[in-house]
Amino acid sequence: MNKDFLTPRSHPQTTISMGPSSASFSMAVLTVLRYYKWYHVTVLVEVTSTLSGLYSTMAAALLEMAKPSDDDDVTYEMVAQYVKSSISNDDLKGVLHVSKRRSRVFVLFSTGVFVLRILAMTDELHMSNGEYVFINCQPVKTLSYGIPAQFTRSVNDTSNLNAFRSLIFLLSATKEATAKTLADVNSRIARVTKDKYNFTYPNGDPALDSGFGARSAMDMSEMVALLVVDRDTSDPHLAEQRCSGRDLAARVSNRSFTQTTGKSYFSSGGIRLYNTDVFAFNTSTLSLQVLYCRQ
């Protein structure tokens, strides 16, 4: 299904993928791998019952996209390892010990907590010498998945810094609009919510920053309006066909749109490709900092 959304003739003809998708994040990982010419990769997947198989889905999308194709001259050698969140430290060390013989690049589809467990083992396994790299990808900035602040060290805790220097952290770049624009929209949402539903958002937790659900809902509503206007202005005769989902979906292919929350980019298969912030560890601040934004 993920690969179908990337090709124009095989994806569901009336479907548009608006939310953060496994295909979008897997493409971000592949971009990093290709940029650094890392072609031998171990994909380590945390199997957790609380996140509904998200990481397994992301891994499956990555493995599918990494398969050889006629229009790509790069061949990836990837091996996937699936481990439960409850795996013991000794067993996890065993998995890493075997995997490091095969590759020096590890893509970690796992929570931030699980990544920290792995980094804590690297000294003992002789994997913190700069010859190994760990790539962690998170779809949303929430503590249940993983956030950059989890990897901040204190001046009193500088142990194993080499392992943190080997970490590349990918996170969906959600704040694409200007701060003022988002602040204005959040204020309007707060007023309407208070007036109509007598609900007040907690201080410091505006509507569009409370999670990808609210932002995605707004993006989807606005996208439908944009597509209808686009159809009606391009061909007034189509205005009567207001129930043509296929027509609206076709208008998304290979296009970008400017929305309130920022720009939206869609592949030929109708899937939204999110910008991704790429973080690396700064030894001066002892924290993860953005290197660049992958678009």
User: Given this model, what pLDDT does residue 65 score?
Assistant: 86
Tokens 């994806």 belong to residue: 11
H or E stretch covering 184: helix 179-197
CA 42 and chain centroid, separation: 19
What digits encode the pLDDT tens for the residues 19-41? 667 777 888 899 899 999 999 99
Cβ-based neighbours of 188, under 8 Å, separated by 6 or more: none
Would the pTM of this model clear 0.85, i.e. be above it?
no
User: Given this model, what pLDDT does residue 6 score?
Assistant: 45
Burial class (CB in 10 A: 0-12, 13-18, 19+), 193: middle
**AA identity, residue 99:** S
User: Given this model, what pLDDT does residue 194 score?
Assistant: 84
* Cα 275 to Cα 293: distance, rounded to the nearest angstrom: 7
User: Given this model, what pLDDT does residue 4 score?
Assistant: 41
* Cα 281 to Cα 287: distance, rounded to the nearest angstrom: 6
User: Given this model, what pLDDT does residue 239 score?
Assistant: 55
* Cα 105 to Cα 78: distance, rounded to the nearest angstrom: 10
3-state SS assignment for residue 242: coil
**AA identity, residue 10:** S
User: Any idea what the Cα angle at residue 184 is, between residues 181 and 188, rounded to 5°?
Assistant: 140
User: Given this model, what pLDDT does residue 233 score?
Assistant: 75
Tokens 């606005």 belong to residue: 222
What digits encode the pLDDT tens for the residues 255-282? 888 887 777 778 777 777 777 889 999 9
How many helical (H) and strand (E) elements, i.e. helices and strands, does the chain have?
8, 9
3-state SS assignment for residue 231: helix
Query: CA quadruple 134, 295, 178, 226: dihedral positive or negative?
Result: negative
Q: Minimal CA–CA distance to 268: which of 89, 7, 15, 86?
A: 7
3-state SS assignment for residue 187: helix
User: Given this model, what pLDDT does residue 264 score?
Assistant: 76
* Cα 135 to Cα 143: distance, rounded to the nearest angstrom: 18
Those residues of the chain that have pLDDT short of 50 are 1-10
Count Cβ neighbours within 10 Å for each residue of 82-116 and write b for 16 or more, e otherwise. ebeeebeeeebeebbeebbeebbbbbbbbbbebbb
User: Given this model, what pLDDT does residue 210 score?
Assistant: 54
Could you list the beta-strand ranges (E) of the chain: 40-47, 77-84, 105-109, 133-138, 167-172, 256-259, 262-265, 276-282, 287-294
Q: Which residues pair with 170 in a beta bridge?
A: 137, 278
- In this structure, what token pair is assigned to residue 191? 């007023």
